[in-house]
Structures are given as structure tokens and as C-alpha cells.
Chains A and B, each alone.
Chain A
Amino acid sequence: MSGVVETEVLVIGGGGAGCSTALHLALRGAKVVLLERGLVGSQASGANYGGVRQQGRHPAELPIAKRSHAIWQDLPRLLGTDCEFVATGHLKLARSAADEADLVAYLDVARDYQLPVRFLDRATLHRDYPWLGASVVAASFAPEDGSANPRLLSPALAQAARAAGAAIREQIQVTACRHENGRFVVEAGDAVFHADTLVNTAGFWGGQVAEWFGEPVPVRPHTPNMGVTEPIPYFIRPNIGVAGGGIYLRQIPRGNVIFGGGRGTGDPAVPFSRATPEATLAAMRKAVEIVPSLAGVSVIRSWSGIDGMMPDGIPVVGPSSTTPGLFHAFGFSGHGFQLGPAIGAILSELVLDGRTDVPLEPLSIRRFQTTP
């Protein structure tokens, strides 16, 4: 489709954040077009681990995570599918006294944000989860958290957005953006889009969009390394994380154990990403340390996707510092899947109401700008 397309809001990037933004804007009657280079949810939003977790998040993210938690529970009504979201609880393990101290310290953060988290000492932990390895010394359990199927979320959000009147355009790459006479001009494919408002939810590539508007950020590509086993009897109920990182795993009721850890490889210019054998083997070894009975279980697939990693590990969310009418939400640094649904709700408020109740100042793009 060539020519000029006029719209009120243009969203660049069809991950969870972008598709949710299109949905929430369309539900409130805004005229919205979303542009996605590949298919919606092809990169970080579709290839991630599927953890839906509030526990362990940076306090700057917690208000968004809490809002998202409410939306996750409401997905069947909103989307006609629960995206396989199950609140299994999230069990974060400590393997040393120092890690245990970190878990204890986070209890205060959780209390401040009314996040239910329960501490489990060694004896209680091994009594309740007898399949855990001996190296685990303590844990904290967040019952509201769980997991979902990342391959379904963005497509389902996009489909609901379509039903609400949004135009979801896939296989169309944005090549230039500018702000001209109070309007945004975006070149993509062989078309030009004019919009009053521009939303940048382009993941790693969001850095390019910000740069076009004179606010470059030090975002780097992040390629989490993921794997999955053959199905085995269901025994790992909670989503498992580890203080200090390096390995995370969950089992779905059909039996497969999904695990992640380390980095894959990739090239955002293609875009191309893949798990590496080194990272997969390292994650397998760590998985067996945590859950020894996984020894001998076959890994059947590995994969990766490209996310944007910020130097401080938290995303850029909020208005542009240079251009009125431009809003960013990118650089989710490997843990944006849970946040995506709320990001859409929050951005729709910023766009349509000019304000939101969720505090976004700590996530502002300004934090990367040196004062002149």
C-alpha cells in the first residue's frame, strides 16, 4: 500500500508493549496504526522465557508490574484467551548466605509496594520442595506471580486491537521518522504515515527511533538463551528464579521444562538471533544443580530473540525530552514480558489524558542525558 496514511496515533513496534498500546488506544476510540517490521511478537516479546513476575523487580518498575498483574488476570475478558497465564507463584532461590541476605532485604521493598512475598528458610524450603538441590539454602515465594505463553500474548493483543479498530500493519519496516509542522512523518515500506502522536515501542530498535528525535540512549542488543525439555511428569509448580541470576526455569502442566540462562547470539540488523551451544550447555548444568532430577531429561529445542538492554537494567518509559507528542517504552532489558499489558494502558493515558497515575520519572529518557 503506497501513498500517505493519516492517523491520530502511530505505534512503532509490535511487541507486547506496542500491541497493548494499540489495543488500549483503540478501546478508547483513538485512531491508531501500528507498524511492525516482522510479525507481531517476533522478537523479545515472543521469544522470551514466559515469566510473569513482580518479585525481584527494581522498585521503579513495581507500580507498572502491579498494574500489569491486574490486566494479566483480566486477559480472558480482554483478549478471549488467557495466553496460558497461570499464577503458579514465583520461587526465588538463594544459593549462598549473601544471596539469602539479598532476598531478606527485598522483603522490605515488597512490603513498601504491598507485594505479597513469603520467606522460606532452608528446612521449610526443602520440606515444601523436596526436589530442590542441596545447594539451595533459602528462598522467597511470591504467590501472585507465575508464567504464560509468550508466543500468544502479542498476537492476541494485536488481534483484540484489530477488533477494536486499530490497524496492525506487519512486514513493514520504518526507515525514517521526523517531526514536521507539529505532526509526525514516518516513512515505512513504500508508504508515508502522518500522525499527531508517535509511540516508540520498538524494543532494541527503539534506540534508533529515539536517536531520530535527538535523544540517543546507550541501548544494546540482548539475546537471552532459552531451551526446553521433552515433557516429563509435572512436578515443578512454581516459576523458579535464582538470586544472582544465571538460570531460571519453569514447568508447564503438559510436562515440558522451559529454562533460560546466559546469552545467545544475534544481529539486530538482519534481524537474526540464536541460542549458542555454550550458553545452552551451561544453563543445562545449572538447571541440574537446582533440580537434580532433571539429569538425563532430554533438551529438544533452544532459541533466542532480540531485546534492548539498558545500562541500568530498567526500561525507558515516558514522554520524549525533545519532541512533544512522542512517547517511549523500550529497552525492557530482558524482563518486559510481564510489563507489556500495563505499558499499553499507561501509554494510552499519557497519549489521551496527558497524564497517568503511575510514577514514571525514574524511567525517563532524561536519565541518559548529560546536562549541558
Chain B
Amino acid sequence: MRVAVVGAGPAGVRAVEQLVRAGLRPVWIDEAPDGGGRIYQRPPAGFHRTPKALYGWEGGRAAALHATLDALKPQVDWRPETLVWNIQPGLLDPGRLDTVRDGAVEQLGFDAAILCTGAMDRVIPIPGWTLPGVTAMGAAQIALKTQGCAIGRRVAFVGSGPLLWLVAYQYMKSGAGIAAVIDTTPWRTKLHALAGLRDGAATLAKGAWYVARLRAAGILVREGATPIAIEGEDGVTGLRWRDASGVEQRLDCDALALGWGVRPETQLADLAGVPMRFDAPSHLWVPQRDAAGRSAVPGLYLAGDGAGIGGADVAEMAGARAALALQEDAGMKADVELATRLDRRLHAQARFRAALDRAFPFPARLAATMPDATILCRCEAVRAGELRQAARADAATGAAPEVNRAKAFTRIGMGRCQGRICGAAASAVLADALGCDVTEVGRLRGQAPVKPLPMPMPIPAGTP
């Protein structure tokens, strides 16, 4: 049986571990040079820092995952620095993955595949967000984690979610200058959602600890605040924001990290025909799967953040569980005891995730009410006002009733990222302009290539 695993983050590593344990030799594809996923992304060759220094409290987990990854490589068909740019699901025929590595394309057949495609930053465009010096929260962390670089000398962190506090803390510890931490979620909301849960208490405690350390260092920390605009001409010079009592404030900064958690990378699942659903608590479209990671497409399994945000620990469990499900479905002898244990733990984690989603709600209003002049789609330089215009019944093309039609009229989400960055905000703006629920405007459909594919490519061998 030909099995393919896409992604070598926490989910991919644990999936491959179980496949190899069962005697399979999967094809294992990852975009990064050396795996690890975004959360445990490894520094480039020649950089030597301890796991503790790189990954903080998660250093032990990172080191363990990397050790497993390295041990698995010789036992599989390991293909790093390789992009899966298209997937054709196997319904009657075997499925196929279209890959590209260093300009060379290849088609790989598979009987079963586990997609562990991970997550990317979720940002809300605010005025000035395209200025040099503004990065996504996760990117700010990766710059620090993998290369020991801060994104500026005086950095403002704006957004919400556990990552906001973690990254700000990591910057502080590394000696980088911090201008402020501006959290759009009020403390009350977090307390209310997380209190009473065992894991919630730990998260609250961790968060409180970060906040206390940041405050103790004299850093401006504000919750329940709203960013208004990033200021600057050729680069970031400041941030205008509104505090919890509604008073407008301004601060100086030369760089800014922006992020409201992460969103799943669902393009391959979408192209493969996996049905998607809107997960209201997280305000995200996620591919449908069962608790073990089976999708409605035969032979296709989903695990990790790409299947719905759960974090690294959940991803490790889900990866292993999906691999066991694949074995069960293929009539192989699977470790039933492990599967049962994983099911129990994943179920418990789902409750905690629901609480986290309540604690850090996506500020849809902030997106929906962005000023007309805000560049919403940065790839195509489409402003929010143009999208609102496309929702008007008196537009030359009539009103766009859903987001793909709005894309056709305005080019929103048509660029290099295909709406992975602006899609959620675009839906919020369009739904608000049409006066309907965000689920009614739908989601931007995926199209191959899922990431840019350079010309020219030799035709794969065997193509008629």
C-alpha cells in the first residue's frame, strides 16, 4: 500500500511514527528543509541554540519530536523542501499528489494519504498593516526562534490569543525592545472562559505569569483594547489605538507583530473534495473529519492544526490516531489500546479547545468595520471600500451575494496567497455589507497551485 504523509510538524511526525511501526514505508513530504512544523521549526544549519532557549517550556517536546523525526527519515521516502501544489483524490483510481522541488515537478500516486498541513497566522487587516515593519505574530516568533532576529528595536504586539503573550515574553527574554502589548480581548472574557477547567487554570496561570513578567519589566500591557491604525510613511513609526474605556491613545514603535491566533491550512483538503464546515467558536472554516481523522474522501485522513486548530500537543495525538485509523481501514492490525487512549485524551482536549475559543474570540467586528481605505487584500491591493462597493445592488455588476463572486468582481483573494491571509476578514466585511451572517457569504474556494508554481516545468514522465 502506497501511503503519503504531507507535513512533518507534530502531527506528521507522530503519524509517520505509527505507520513505520506498522511496517509501512510512506512517502513523507514537507516544505521546510528539515521538518518540525512551524511550532518546532528548526534553525538553519550552523545555528546552535539549546531547545530550551529556542522553544521555552516546550523545549523537551521539541527535542523529542526532532529526535523521532530524524530517526524516521531513513525508514521512509523523505522529501523535504517539497511543495504539494495539487492533489487529486483517489476515488476509483489511486490518488495523486503533484509536487515540486527546486523547480522539478513530480506526480506521486497514493492509496492513502494523511494531510498534516498545519496552520498559518490569522491576521485582521488594519490601516497601515502593509507597511514595512509589520509582520504576522507567528512570523515574528519564527524570526526569533530560528534566526535569533527581532523584527524591530521597539516592537508593538497587537492581537489576541496565547501566542500574543508567548511571543511578547520571548522577545522580552531575548532582550528585544518592546513598545507595548495590545490585546483585543478583555481579561474578563478570558477568565470567564477558562476558570474551572483543569487545563484552563494552567493556561490562565501561564498567561498571568507572562503578563506579570512583562509588566514588571515596565512594558505597556493593555487588554480589551482596539487597534485603530499603524502609522508611518516608509516604515512603522507608531500605533494609534483605543483603550478599554474608549479613549484614543498613541504609542511609538518601529515594528509591529499582528495576530489573532492561527488558521488551518486547508487548501489540499479542499482541492481533494473534503467537505468543509464553519466552526463558529473558532470562527474558522475547517475540513470535516471524524474523531480519528477520517475524511469523507476514502483513503484521505486529516490531522493536526490543518484539520482544525488544536495546538501542538493535540496535533501529536491526532497524527498518531489518524495513522491508526488508516491501518484499521486497510485491514491491518492496529494498536487498539493506543487508539482508545488517544481517543480519550483527544476528547478531553476538545473541551479545553472550546474554552480557549471562547477565551480568545475572533473580533469579527474589528474586521467588519475596517475603514474603506484599508487595504484588505494585500496581494491584489484591494481596499475594503471596493469590496463593500461590490456588495451594493446598484454596482455595475450587481451585488455579489457570496465571497467567490466578490472575488470575481474585485480580485480580492485572487493573488499569490489566494485569500489565505485576507479571506476571513473579507468574509466579515462582505457579510456586514450585505447584512447577512458570515456563513452565508461562504468561503473562498481553493484552486491549484496551492502556492505559487514557477514556469517552466518539465512535463512529468508518463504524461500523454
Query: Interface of A with B (CB < 8 Å)?
Result: 39, 46, 79-81, 151-152, 155-156, 158-159, 162, 229-230, 274-275, 277-278, 280-282, 284-285, 287-288, 294-303
* Nearest chain B CB to A6 CB, angstrom units: 24
In the complex, besides A230-B415, A294-B455, A298-B416, 12 extra interface pairs with C-beta distance below 8 angstroms are A80-B396, A155-B408, A275-B447, A277-B88, A277-B448, A278-B463, A281-B463, A282-B463, A288-B455, A299-B455, A300-B416, A301-B414
Q: Are B418 and A301 in contact (CB under 8 A)?
A: yes
Q: Are B398 and A281 in contact (CB under 8 A)?
A: no
Q: Are A299 and B453 in contact (CB under 8 A)?
A: yes
Evaluate whether A299 and B452 lie within 8 angstroms (CB atoms) in the complex, with A80-B396, A81-B396, A282-B463 already known.
yes
Q: Are B455 and A284 in contact (CB under 8 A)?
A: yes
68-82 of chain B: CB within 8 A of chain A: none
Q: Are A295 and B455 in contact (CB under 8 A)?
A: yes
Query: Interface of B with A (CB < 8 Å)?
Result: 85-86, 88, 98, 105, 107, 395-398, 401, 405, 408-409, 414-416, 418, 447-449, 452-460, 463-464
Report chain B residues within 8 Å CB of A156. 396-397
Report chain B residues within 8 Å CB of A296. 454-455
* Nearest chain A CB to B35 CB, angstrom units: 24
Report chain B residues within 8 Å CB of A302. 447-449
* Nearest chain A CB to B41 CB, angstrom units: 23
Determine the residue in chain A with the shortest Cβ distance to B402: A39
Q: Are A79 and B396 in contact (CB under 8 A)?
A: yes
Report chain B residues within 8 Å CB of A46. 408
Evaluate whether A159 and B397 lie within 8 angstroms (CB atoms) in the complex, with A151-B409, A285-B457 already known.
yes
* Nearest chain B CB to A267 CB, angstrom units: 12
Q: Are B416 and A155 in contact (CB under 8 A)?
A: no
For the complex, what is the distance from the CA of A236 to the CA of B239, rounded to whole Å?
42
Report chain A residues within 8 Å CB of B88. 277
B416's contact among A39, A80, A230, by CB below 8 Å, is which? A230
B396's contact among A159, A275, A297, by CB below 8 Å, is which? A159
A277's contact among B107, B409, B415, by CB below 8 Å, is which? B107
Q: Are A158 and B455 in contact (CB under 8 A)?
A: no
Q: Are B452 and A298 in contact (CB under 8 A)?
A: yes
Q: Are B105 and A281 in contact (CB under 8 A)?
A: yes
Evaluate whether A277 and B452 lie within 8 angstroms (CB atoms) in the complex, with A152-B409, A302-B447 already known.
no
Determine the residue in chain B with the shortest Cβ distance to A276: B88
* Nearest chain A CB to B404 CB, angstrom units: 9
Q: Are A301 and B396 in contact (CB under 8 A)?
A: no
Q: Are B459 and A285 in contact (CB under 8 A)?
A: yes
Q: Are B459 and A277 in contact (CB under 8 A)?
A: no
Report chain B residues within 8 Å CB of A274. 448
Report chain B residues within 8 Å CB of A152. 396-397, 408-409
A298's contact among B107, B409, B454, B459, by CB below 8 Å, is which? B454
Interface centre among A80, A230, A275, A300 (most CB of B within 10 A): A300
For the complex, what is the distance from the CA of A300 to the CA of B377, rounded to whole Å?
15
For the complex, what is the distance from the CA of A152 to the CA of B460, rounded to whole Å?
36
Q: Are A298 and B405 in contact (CB under 8 A)?
A: no
Report chain A residues within 8 Å CB of B454. 296-299
**10 nearest A-B pairs in the assembled complex, by CB-CB distance:** A298-B452, A155-B397, A288-B456, A151-B408, A81-B396, A159-B398, A277-B98, A80-B396, A284-B455, A299-B453
For the complex, what is the distance from the CA of A83 to the CA of B45, rounded to whole Å?
52
Report chain A residues within 8 Å CB of B459. 278, 281-282, 285
Q: Are A297 and B463 in contact (CB under 8 A)?
A: no
Q: Are B457 and A300 in contact (CB under 8 A)?
A: no
For the complex, what is the distance from the CA of A81 to the CA of B86, rounded to whole Å?
36
Report chain B residues within 8 Å CB of A295. 455-456
* Nearest chain B CB to A210 CB, angstrom units: 29
Report chain B residues within 8 Å CB of A301. 414, 418, 447-449
Evaluate whether A280 and B415 lie within 8 angstroms (CB atoms) in the complex, with A39-B405, A79-B396 already known.
no
For the complex, what is the distance from the CA of A229 to the CA of B415, rounded to whole Å?
9
* Nearest chain B CB to A236 CB, angstrom units: 14
For the complex, what is the distance from the CA of A298 to the CA of B98, rounded to whole Å?
16
For the complex, what is the distance from the CA of A281 to the CA of B98, rounded to whole Å?
11
Q: Are B448 and A284 in contact (CB under 8 A)?
A: no
Interface centre among B105, B107, B452 (most CB of A within 10 A): B452
Report chain A residues within 8 Å CB of B415. 230, 300
Report chain A residues within 8 Å CB of B396. 79-81, 152, 156, 159
For the complex, what is the distance from the CA of A289 to the CA of B53, rounded to whole Å?
51
Q: Are A300 and B452 in contact (CB under 8 A)?
A: yes
Report chain B residues within 8 Å CB of A230. 415-416, 452
Evaluate whether A39 and B401 lie within 8 angstroms (CB atoms) in the complex, with A159-B395, A278-B463 already known.
yes
* Nearest chain B CB to A315 CB, angstrom units: 24
* Nearest chain A CB to B435 CB, angstrom units: 19
Determine the residue in chain A with the shortest Cβ distance to B410: A151
- Pairs across A and B, CB under 8 Å, 17 listed: A79-B396, A155-B397, A155-B409, A230-B416, A274-B448, A275-B447, A277-B88, A278-B459, A278-B460, A278-B463, A281-B463, A296-B455, A297-B455, A299-B453, A300-B452, A301-B447, A302-B448
For the complex, what is the distance from the CA of A259 to the CA of B206, rounded to whole Å?
53
Determine the residue in chain A with the shortest Cβ distance to B98: A277
Determine the residue in chain B with the shortest Cβ distance to A257: B455
For the complex, what is the distance from the CA of A159 to the CA of B457, rounded to whole Å?
42
For the complex, what is the distance from the CA of A295 to the CA of B452, rounded to whole Å?
13
Q: Are A298 and B456 in contact (CB under 8 A)?
A: no
B398's contact among A162, A275, A303, by CB below 8 Å, is which? A162
For the complex, what is the distance from the CA of A284 to the CA of B456, rounded to whole Å?
6
For the complex, what is the distance from the CA of A287 to the CA of B455, rounded to whole Å?
9
Report chain B residues within 8 Å CB of A158. 398
* Nearest chain A CB to B167 CB, angstrom units: 30
* Nearest chain B CB to A81 CB, angstrom units: 4
* Nearest chain B CB to A234 CB, angstrom units: 16
For the complex, what is the distance from the CA of A298 to the CA of B105, rounded to whole Å?
14
* Nearest chain B CB to A255 CB, angstrom units: 11
Determine the residue in chain B with the shortest Cβ distance to A46: B408
Report chain A residues within 8 Å CB of B452. 230, 298-300
* Nearest chain A CB to B275 CB, angstrom units: 14
Evaluate whether A275 and B463 lie within 8 angstroms (CB atoms) in the complex, with A152-B409, A284-B455, A288-B456 already known.
no
Determine the residue in chain B with the shortest Cβ distance to A228: B414
Q: Are B397 and A275 in contact (CB under 8 A)?
A: no
For the complex, what is the distance from the CA of A275 to the CA of B452, rounded to whole Å?
15
Report chain A residues within 8 Å CB of B463. 278, 281-282
Report chain B residues within 8 Å CB of A288. 455-456
* Nearest chain A CB to B76 CB, angstrom units: 24
Determine the residue in chain B with the shortest Cβ distance to A151: B408
